[in-house]
Structure 1
Amino acid sequence: MNEDELKVLNQINEYADQVLKGMDLEKTPISVQLDKLKPAMEQIAREKNLSLEEVFILYMDLNLKAQLEQEKKLKEKLGDI
C-alpha cells in the first residue's frame, strides 16, 4: 500500500472511529455504517476528483489490503513460535 492509499484509509478510519463509536457493528447493517461514512468519502472524492462510488471501491480495496497485511504479519509471527 502506498503513502497516498494509506492516507485515504486512515482518513476514513479515523472518521469511522468518531461516527461509529458506540454502535454495535455486528448488528448494524453495512448500508447504515456506510451512510455514516459518506461525508468522509465525499470529502475524499472532492479532493481527488473521484466519484463517490470510486472512493467506496478504493476504501473496500484498501481495507482488504490492510487485512491481508495483518494476516501475513500474524502468520509470520506465529511461524516463529
Structure 2
Amino acid sequence: MTEEQRAMLKRINDYAEEVMPDIDPQHTPISYQLEKLTPIMKQIGEEQDKSLSDIFIEYMDLASEAATEMEKKLQDSLKDIEDGEKK
C-alpha cells in the first residue's frame, strides 16, 4: 500500500468515525455504511479525477489489505507471546 493509498484509507475511515461514531460495522447494513460514506468518496473522486465506483472499489481493496496486515501483526504478536512463555 502506497502512502497516498494509506492517506486515502485514513481519510475515509476518519470520516466514517465522524458520521457513524456509534455503529457496529459487523451488524450495520453495508448499504447504510456506503450511503454515509458517499460524500467523502465523491470528494476524493473529484480530487483524483476518478469515478465514485472506482474510489469505492479502491477503498474496499485497501480496507481488506489493511485488515490482512492487522491480522498478520496480531498473529505475530501472539506467536511472540507464546514463544516468550516457552522460555
| TM band (smaller chain) | over 0.9
1:31 corresponding residue in structure 2: 31
How many Å separate the matches in 2 of 1:80 and 1:26? 29
Query: Which has more radius of gyration?
Result: 2
Gapped regions of structure 1 (runs ≥ 5): none
2:7 corresponding residue in structure 1: 7
The CA deviation at 1:22 is 2.3
The CA deviation at 1:75 is 1.0
- Quickly say closer, same or farther: Cα 1:4–1:20, change in 2 above 3 A: same
1:48 corresponding residue in structure 2: 48
How many Å separate the matches in 1 of 2:51 and 2:29? 23
How many Å separate the matches in 1 of 2:46 and 2:78? 42
1:57 corresponding residue in structure 2: 57
TM-score by length of 2: 0.87
How many Å separate the matches in 2 of 1:44 and 1:65? 19
How many Å separate the matches in 2 of 1:23 and 1:74? 24
Deviating 4+ runs (over 2 angstroms): 22-28
Aligned length: 81
Q: Which amino acid aligns with 2:71?
A: E
1:20 corresponding residue in structure 2: 20
SS of 2:32's equivalent? helix
SS of 2:38's equivalent? helix
How many Å separate the matches in 1 of 2:18 and 2:55? 19
- Quickly say closer, same or farther: Cα 1:76–1:27, change in 2 above 3 A: closer
Gapped regions of structure 2 (runs ≥ 5): 82-87
